[in-house]
Chain A
Amino acid sequence: MTTIHRPQDENEAAGIIRAAWETRAPLAIEGGGTRAGIGRPLQAAATLSSTGLNGIIEYNPAEMVITVAAGTPVATVETALAEAGQRFAFEPADYRALLGSTGEPTVGALAAANISGPRRFVAGAARDSLLGVRFVNGQGEIVRNGGKVMKNVTGLDLVKLMAGSWGTLGFLTQVTFKVQPVPESRMTLAIRGLLEEDAVNALAHAMATSADVSGAAHLPELVADKVLDGRLGSAPATLLRLEGFETSIRIRAERLKALLGSLGEIEEIGAERSAALWTQVRDLAPFAGGQEDKPVWRISMKPSEAHKAVMALRMQVGATAFYDWQGGLVWLRLETGDPEDQAVRAAVARFGGGHATLVRASGPVRASIPVFQPQSRAVAALSRRVKETFDPAGILNPGRMAAEA
């Protein structure tokens, strides 16, 4: 039976970690637990949950900045932002449908797991919007870094380091994000019938124009009909999202159609369905629901190379993929239970490098292979030394990111 600590304030959290530090007792760090299935399985007798730290601490929309207790549900924050006509620029994904998990994702986890969505390739990930953090390190010390202003180079940027550290460096108690206005309108252009290489070229072309595209994805055949209740049909769909003032996106859409019209039929998807479509791309709807036995990889590479790695991999294993971020982000589902980690990582390495993270797999699989991309010896050693400065006893989420850290 594991103990669950649910501190109600930062000092209580610090006390719990200080006690764990003194006894060298490992702690599983958790928000809403909806992404607990990502990373190596933990061996910890106690869990430290942020869900007792709840509430918006400071939000003045005219400053485009929000400060929130780490355990606050994302939904609560997004509602407050929407009421003021604002949103997170990084479009945080919700992995519940993909992983078959339940509960409420928390804002702290957006930072801790550096979550993002389709807009990431132009607007940055959570790490780029994250302005400040408060956290408790592995010795029970309360540490502040960054702040509440949009530009800040005062001292080392530990904010970036905390983003994507998956609870292995500290227990986040408070996060401050930069936010942005919700654009007046949105629409999506779907170029139909392109194969991967042509699709990626089309996306690159669009990104080389001033059309200010805020979403650039490609859904190949067998994926396209898994969104919008199949209304797109099964032909491949290469998607370009435009957001902004209505007059402006109209102009930009016409420009893109003139540029790309010769490649294939271009459909316009209006504001409402556009929003639904990108939410489904963001939350991996094509790979969600009742397919938890099929491993899913998240692969980040150069946009021009990623589809080549997928093609090469397909010669060896049965896999289905779709692409976001101008083609640079691959969501890859393997059709048997085998994660094929060596083949996947070899393909990534062969085509210019990048990283592959196994975001969905069973516990035993995750315990047996590196879930996160293995790093070079020197970078791994440096990362370990950095980890030791935060958590010298290795009690915070031990082994979640790498077996030895």
Chain B
Amino acid sequence: MANIRFHDPDPAILARRAQIVADLADLVPAECFVSDERELVPFETDAFTAYRRVPLAVVLPETTEQVARVLKYLAREKVPVVPRGAGTSLSGGAIPQEDAVVIGLSKMSRILEVDLPNRMARVQAGVTNINISNAVDGDGFFYAPDPSSQLACTIGGNIGMNSGGAHCLKYGVTTNNLLGVRLVTFDGEILDLGAGELDAAGYDLLGLVCGSEGQLGIVTEAIVRLIAKPEGARPVLFGFESSEVAGNCVADIIAAGIVPVAIEFMDKQAIEICEAFAHAGYPLDVEALLIVEVEGSDAEMNDMLARIIEIARRHGVSSVKESQSAMEAALIWKGRKSAFGATGRIADYICMDGTVPLSQLSHVLRETDVIVRKYGLRVANVFHAGDGNMHPLILYNVNDPEEAEKAEAAGMDILRLCVDAGGCLTGEHGVGIEKRDLMRHQYDEVDLLQQLAVRDAFDPSRIMNPSKVFPLDMTKGQTRGRAA
């Protein structure tokens, strides 16, 4: 795969590399700085591994002040900056380029304050998503957004991509669980947006920063919402004879006024892959599987499940399996959350992330199959059905350039299909480099120009995470600046 281009590295910056490296080395402690060419290699890509670019240098700051100092210097030198959390982006959001300095937040991984009466935690951006929940688990709280990569991914990265997860049907995505950030702007100014109170005092800059893919500044701290854990949670497996029937069942559950915490969908291919990996007890004789999770006390869960099972029966559900223990429940989720990793063991894959209106689920599943077969490839579907966020995994062999091209082309066709069905290109993975060139399929030029102008209001020199989000030809050269 080599279809996605980056801005050409600035030869003037490359020529000054030695000086820039020397200057940066003066700004941060030695253990916070990487410039050796071999040691730079781990930073050349993220979880979108088809593309790799070794950066000019990597800074791993320990404080907000160090981030500010480094950004101030890089802004003066007009050197591009690529922010990085754990590098788990599936859209290439953290892939650097040869003339860029990576600022990685991995050393800033402390939980600074847990405030249970106000149900919030103040954390450094490099803390992993799961560690927030782990820190408050004993007190009966958790942090709700739970991307599948939550063991590794950082809250800073979650904010960059406005990450979701399986349980956002009930609890919302990152932006709905974020109360404040400390943001370092491109030129090293430190801003606090939100202090833990609700709603913005003026413009909702916090809402704007969330999901801005590292182009509006670098988040070094965050204040996040903690939620009291439900008394219990029980995932139930529903097997169906076709994807279409499973899709209709989802629509009917929602229409009946029942909103479970999660409704996850897997097709036959995904079931087989995940079951082989996790031995979660998924039924293997069905074409489609729903994992429906309910929460509450036993009585509440029984009541809710009875209603859901009744709906599933009307759709001729072929198997129903309730988890009987916490261990079984954990296994069911392990299977689902390891879907990407398990798939990676049997084949290379690219993961799409389009979202469609619920009424279009069956149509889009059908057409996805048609598209993938047209390219002679296979697809495994595993996704958040309750909110229409699809994740077709297109399987291919990375060592076969022709097949790789086909996989990429099929992915783009599927995303166009999602947009044409009334949906969008990305529900939770972000645009990154992967979907950048499809932005014009979803938005008109004027829509994108307005977004770009807002980006420029934060970073007029466009050094923050360049080559991402906007079609490349839009971000070449001078900024739009103040309209006359």
A interface with B by C-beta (< 8 Å) = 60-65, 85-86, 114, 116, 120-121, 124-125, 127-128, 137, 139, 141-145, 147-161, 163-165, 169, 180-184, 201, 204, 207-210, 212, 245, 247-248, 251-252, 300-304, 325-326, 328-329, 352-355, 372-373, 375-376, 378-380, 382-383, 385-390, 392, 401-402
Contacts and interface: CB of A to CB of B under 8 A. Distances in A.
A62 B117 contact: no
B231 A210 contact: yes
B307 to A, nearest CB: 8
28 contacts: A60-B357, A62-B251, A114-B204, A127-B207, A141-B450, A143-B447, A145-B450, A150-B355, A151-B427, A153-B162, A154-B439, A158-B208, A160-B210, A161-B203, A164-B200, A182-B257, A204-B116, A207-B228, A210-B229, A212-B296, A248-B297, A251-B299, A304-B115, A373-B202, A379-B193, A386-B208, A388-B482, A389-B456
Given A300-B198, A383-B205, A156 B454 contact: yes
B424 A152 contact: yes
Contacts of A245: 300, 303-304
Contacts of B117: 201, 204, 208, 303-304
Interface stretch (B48-56, B268-276, B381-389): B381-389
B63 interface: no
Contacts of B202: 372-373, 375, 379-380, 383, 401-402
B446 interface: yes
Contacts of A247: 299-300, 303
B356 interface: yes
B198 A329 contact: yes
Interface string B291-308: 000011101100110000
B204 A181 contact: no
Contacts of B255: 61-62
Contact of A151 (B173, B195, B442, B453): B173
A8 to B, nearest CB: 22
Nearest to A305: B118
B228 A386 contact: no
A349 to B, nearest CB: 10
Contacts of A152: 355, 424, 426-427
Nearest to B140: A208
B277 interface: no
B427 A153 contact: yes
A163 B198 CA distance: 14
A23 B161 CA distance: 40
Nearest to A356: B201
A364 B200 CA distance: 25
Interface stretch (B11-19, B237-245, B311-319, B429-437): B429-437
Given A143-B450, A153-B161, A60 B359 contact: yes
Interface string B26-61: 000000000000000000000000000000000000
Given A161-B203, A182-B257, A245-B300, A386 B358 contact: no
Given A148-B422, A353-B197, A372-B202, A85 B257 contact: yes
Contact of B356 (A149, A164, A301): A149
Interface in B178-206: 185, 189, 191-193, 195-206
B172 interface: yes
A145 B447 contact: yes
Given A62-B358, A161-B207, A163-B207, A180 B259 contact: yes
A150 B164 CA distance: 11
A263 to B, nearest CB: 16
Contact of B423 (A149, A184, A378): A149
A386 B457 contact: yes
B118 A303 contact: yes
Contacts of B211: 153, 156-157
Residue in B231, B259, B304, B428 whose Cβ sees the most chain A Cβ within 10 Å: B231
A158 B251 CA distance: 29
Contact of A158 (B252, B384, B389, B454): B454
Given A125-B198, A209-B228, A352-B196, A390 B204 contact: no
Contacts of A387: 203
B170 to A, nearest CB: 10
A402 B203 CA distance: 11
A394 B390 CA distance: 41
B333 interface: no
Interface residues of B, number: 97
Contacts of B254: 62-64, 181
Contacts of A116: 199
B201 A141 contact: no
A153 B447 contact: no
Given A64-B254, A383-B205, A147 B424 contact: yes
Instruction: Kindly list the 5 A-B residue pairs having the minimum CB-CB distance in the complex, ordered from nearest.
Output: A160-B207, A181-B257, A151-B427, A355-B201, A389-B453
Q: Kindly name the residue among B203, B357, B431, B484 whose own CB sees the greatest number of chain A CB atoms within 10 A.
A: B203
A302 B118 CA distance: 6
Given A247-B299, A325-B198, A158 B359 contact: no
A116 B427 CA distance: 25
Interface in B150-179: 161-162, 164, 168-169, 172-173, 175-176
A155 B197 contact: no
Nearest to B141: A208
B212 interface: yes
B300 A251 contact: yes
Given A121-B198, A302-B196, A378-B189, 20 more contacts: A62-B251, A151-B389, A152-B355, A155-B443, A155-B447, A160-B210, A163-B204, A208-B139, A248-B297, A300-B197, A302-B118, A328-B198, A353-B197, A355-B199, A372-B201, A379-B191, A379-B205, A382-B205, A389-B450, A392-B482
Contacts of B206: 160
A124 B172 contact: yes
Contact of A125 (B199, B228, B426): B199
Interface string B452-473: 0111111000000000010000
A20 to B, nearest CB: 15
Contacts of A164: 199-200, 203-204
Which of A139, A156, A390 has most B Cβ within 10 Å? A156
B437 to A, nearest CB: 13
B105 to A, nearest CB: 20
B370 interface: no
A137 to B, nearest CB: 7
A390 B454 CA distance: 8
Contacts of B389: 149-151
B119 interface: yes
Nearest to A380: B202
B439 A155 contact: yes
B344 interface: no
A302 B199 CA distance: 11
Contacts of A145: 447, 450-451
